[in-house]
A and B are shown apart, each in its own frame.
Chain A
Amino acid sequence: MADMKMLDASDRGLSSGYMMWYRFSRNPAAVIGSLILISIVILAVFAPWLTPYPKHVGAVVDFRARHLPPDASHWFGTDKAGRDIFSRTVFGLRVSLLLVIGVLGISVPVGTVLGLIAGYFGGWVEKLITGLTNVMLAMPPLVMALAVSNLLEPTLTNAMIAITLLWWTWHARLIYSVSKSIASEDYIEAARLAGAGPLHILFREILPNCMAVISVKTTLDAAFVILFGATLSFLGFGVKPPTPDLGSMVADGRQFMPDFWWEVLCPGAMVFYVTLGFNLLGDGLRDMFDVEN
């Protein structure tokens, strides 16, 4: 059936851009997911203008207003120091997104390049890279992250390093399998016969064919990175107070459950919202690209 679809599209000269857009617009998960993400990015970037109490991000203490339930002036209520939880939550998004960009910005390129190399060259290079990947995959991520944070200092940067150290392996492994199967295609041999060097083959011939898999995996990963980052700061290995972070806000609010429920549930709901956005988009992209998970 795939043949027929292809033929059909090519007969009418539909561009790939149009086909991609059509499939995207017919995919509710992808559309909703990207709307959520757009809203998150806007909130994070314009947080100082969009929040009612931007000052509450810092060391503000207002004991008269502590533990106020949600109402019109404090949508998400206030915390133990009387700070507006909505404002802090929105600023907390910045930390989450920074974490995603930092972790995936390093681990995706590293994992992709190592995966491409292992899949294309084979031999001892393949053995070395897959061996290393397997060793890293065997380490429990949380233990590794705690070790790094203890060894160095419990800061956001170190949390990022800890996550990155483990995260590239998943990408390396995935891209390795894709690269290995593409490497045996006729067009790769044809490129070699046309005089292409290994760099050209890796990055111009194989990589473009991996982009669908990479984008799906990266989007789905973003959700996990945020959850993982929240877990780390919940355990006290994230950003330092008073900088707001979704995970540490949940941890702080935990002691006041169930009386002041909003202090846990509201930042928790934001984690849920961000994760949902990335997951929906990832699932949608997977359907669009027909990528097997």
Chain B
Amino acid sequence: MAEPLLSVDKLNVSFATYGRSRQVLRNVSFDVAAGERVALIGETGSGKSVTAKAIIGTLPNNAAISSGTIRFAGQDIMALPKADREALKGTAFSLIMQDPLSSFNPVFKIGTHLDDVMRFADKRNGVRASKAERRIRIEAVLRRVQLADADRVMNAYPSELSGGMRQRVLIGLALLHQPKLLIADEPGTALDVTTQDEILNLINTLVKEENMALLMITHNLGVVRKVADRVVVMHHGDIVETGPCAEILSSPKAAYTQALLEAVPPLYGPRVTNLPQSGRAPIVTIRGLNKIFGKRPGFHAIRDVDLTLREGEIFGLAGESGSGKTSIARIIMELSRATSGTVAIDAPAPGKGRRLTQIVYQNPGTSLNPKRTVKQTLSLPLTSIGMDSERREARMAELLDLVRLPQSYMAKYPHELSGGQKQRVAIARALAAEPKILILDEPTAALDVSVQKTVIELLVQLRQDLGLTYLMISHDLSLMRNFCSRIAVMLRGEIVEEGATPEVFADPKHPYTRALIAAIPVVTDAEELLKPVVTEEERTRFLVKTTA
């Protein structure tokens, strides 16, 4: 067999933090052949990003490669002098970064970013080129990432482009010097599903056309199925399993991979859970709701929305960013006022300091005060309903039991907790003063898929035990398929489709719903086949343009 393009052999990396050393990669070995697409998959802390950084040579200062080799085209790149290694960046391998917004300096135009990268690379390689000549090359690259209107893109500031377009420019940046290996660190994760779908298609096309190899780093198994020939599964710094993509996804051998696949909410098929419809009385009734931000003409965030939430149901409000779903939730919470229309909550008035509605935020990292312990966080809502300290203690103990956290966590600060544990604390805080309605604003978007599974199970259990009504806001339709009993799809402030979840997914009426469902990365081929079909015409009508 020919020498692989990239060969990582028995790589050990450790981090020194606070005087203690900790191994983050243990004997990581894998190959990427020329033209091959390999996915490195794992959850937070699995070491997938560290592996990529070790290859590119951008490990932080407190990291040390204790043993192992990284060979690129037969050359041991760790033995290379610094300047030679530097020269490999961009030409031998290139990185597509994750966050399309923070990767650009907001005060420079896109053209300046591209030109800088090209100029410095030219300098390094001893190429002399004029600005005009560089521009021709940049335009060629932009055309390849489907940004044909190069003038417009290059004269735009980063904030003037959509997320999808920025991601395309980032890919273009990586392509400037015809690298042989493209390393993609969770591309499109920060974007809407439909945009992410297009970005993945683009990467696939480019890899094929340019005959590049691809090393895709991701936590999403659906993405893996779409862009990888071979999969390397990582867990806590070890490689758990390696194999062809289809094999890993259909018949995984390692228990960890099985559990990971198990945790992915299915879109179609026998594993899908159907929640019973609630036949009880409506608890929230929204009629003719409008919200306009700013003064004339203003931004029309919500347009004539009518919604009814029945008591005890889990109602899903689906939509992409900017569709107005969070604005509706804030109006129900009385955090913002509607421009017109009514929201009626049909429940007896709560006691002093109590609210009918509470919210669980998307990111538990920002919804818990970093300087307050779990106990301090939980005691706040209890104090405001006038509980004395004895009853508070008892109620807090009860709450921790409810969200299945050990009592010893009372004294912990948020930074001592994992993402899932933090979200449990946030749920406990929301439930403390016994609300009737819980608004879940993408409660698991910031969590790993296996953690998501446990948090969702907890939420389902809590609803049963406490008789709560949930309003779930999310863009993750496969999660909503299994978690919501009814669902409404929002597009640009309007509800375009509404109905019982199984029916909406079985036969989506509106083309936008079809496009949304079709864009979800799924794990099995069977599910892929069951997805609704979207015509190109519908796509251009309802989705945000990411090309130019």
Chain A interface (Cβ < 8 Å from any Cβ of B): 1, 4-14, 16, 18-19, 22-23, 26, 185-191, 193-197, 200, 204-205, 208-209, 211
B386: min CB distance to chain A, Å: 10
Residue of B at shortest CB range from A190? B367
- B409-440, CB under 8 A of A: which get 1 and which 0? 00001011110000000100100110000000
Which of B20, B363, B418 is A186 in contact with, Cβ under 8 Å? B363
Chain B positions 375 through 386: 1 when the CB is less than 8 Å from some CB of chain A, otherwise 0: 010001101110
Further pairs besides A10-B417, A194-B433, A208-B369: 17, Cβ < 8 Å: A1-B60, A5-B17, A6-B415, A7-B418, A9-B415, A13-B416, A16-B415, A23-B18, A26-B19, A187-B366, A188-B369, A189-B335, A194-B381, A195-B381, A204-B372, A208-B371, A209-B371
* Bound-complex Cα distance A12 to B60 (A): 20
| B20 lies within 8 A of A12 (CB) | yes
Whole-angstrom distance from the CB of A238 to the nearest CB of chain B?
Answer: 40
B370 at the interface (CB under 8 A from A): yes
Closest to B368 in A: A187
CA distance A22 to B18 in the complex (A): 6
Closest chain-B Cβ to A197's Cβ sits at a distance in Å of: 8
Contacts of A9 in B (CB 8 A): 17-18, 415
Q: A1-B60, A196-B384 are in contact. Are A187 and B367 (CB under 8 A)?
A: yes
Tell whether, in the assembled complex, residue B18 and residue A195 are in contact, meaning their CB atoms are under 8 Å apart. Answer: no
Q: Which of A11, A26, A193, A209 contacts B369 (CB 8 A)?
A: A209
A22 contact set on B, CB distance < 8 A: 18-19
Name the B residues within 8 Å of A23 (CB-CB): 18
A190–B18 touching, CB < 8 Å:
no
Residue of B17, B19, B370, B426 with most partner-chain A CB within 10 A: B17
A200→B379 CA distance, assembly (Å):
12
B15 close to chain A: CB less than 8 A: yes
Are A194's CB and B380's CB within 8 A?
yes
The answer to whether A195 touches B415, judged by C-beta atoms less than 8 angstroms apart, is no
- In the bound complex, residues from chain A placing their C-beta under 8 Å from that of B370 are 209
Q: What are the residues of chain B within 8 A of A5 when measuring CB–CB?
A: 17
In the complex, the answer to whether B416 meets A186 with C-beta atoms within 8 Å is no
Contact A205/B369 with A10-B415, A196-B384 known, Cβ cut-off 8 Å: yes
In the A-B complex, the 7 residue pairs with the closest CB atoms: A195-B384, A208-B371, A194-B381, A186-B367, A187-B369, A22-B18, A195-B353
Residues of A within 8 A of B381 (CB): 194-195
CA distance A14 to B413 in the complex (A): 11
Contact B366 A185 (CB under 8 A): yes
Q: Are A193 and B18 in contact (CB under 8 A)?
A: no
A18 neighbours in B (Cβ, 8 Å): 18
How many Å from the CB of B424 to the closest CB on chain A? 15
Q: Is the CB of B15 within 8 A of A7?
A: no
Closest-CB distance, A27 to chain B (whole angstroms): 13
Measured between C-beta atoms, what is the minimum distance from A217 to chain B in Å?
A: 18
Chain A CB count within 10 A is highest, among B371, B432, B433, for B371
Instruction: Flag if B22 contacts A16 (CB, 8 Å).
Output: no
- Contacts A194-B429, A195-B380, A204-B372 known; A8 to B367 CB distance under 8 Å? no
State the CA gap A5–B383 with chains docked (Å): 34
Q: Please give, as numbers and ranges, the residues of chain A lying within 8 Å of B416 by CB-CB distance.
A: 10, 13
B279-314 at interface with A (beta carbon < 8 Å): none
Let me know if A19 and B359 touch, CB within 8 A. Answer: no
13 contacts between A and B (CB under 8 A): A6-B415, A9-B18, A9-B415, A10-B417, A12-B22, A13-B416, A19-B18, A187-B369, A188-B369, A193-B333, A193-B358, A195-B353, A196-B384
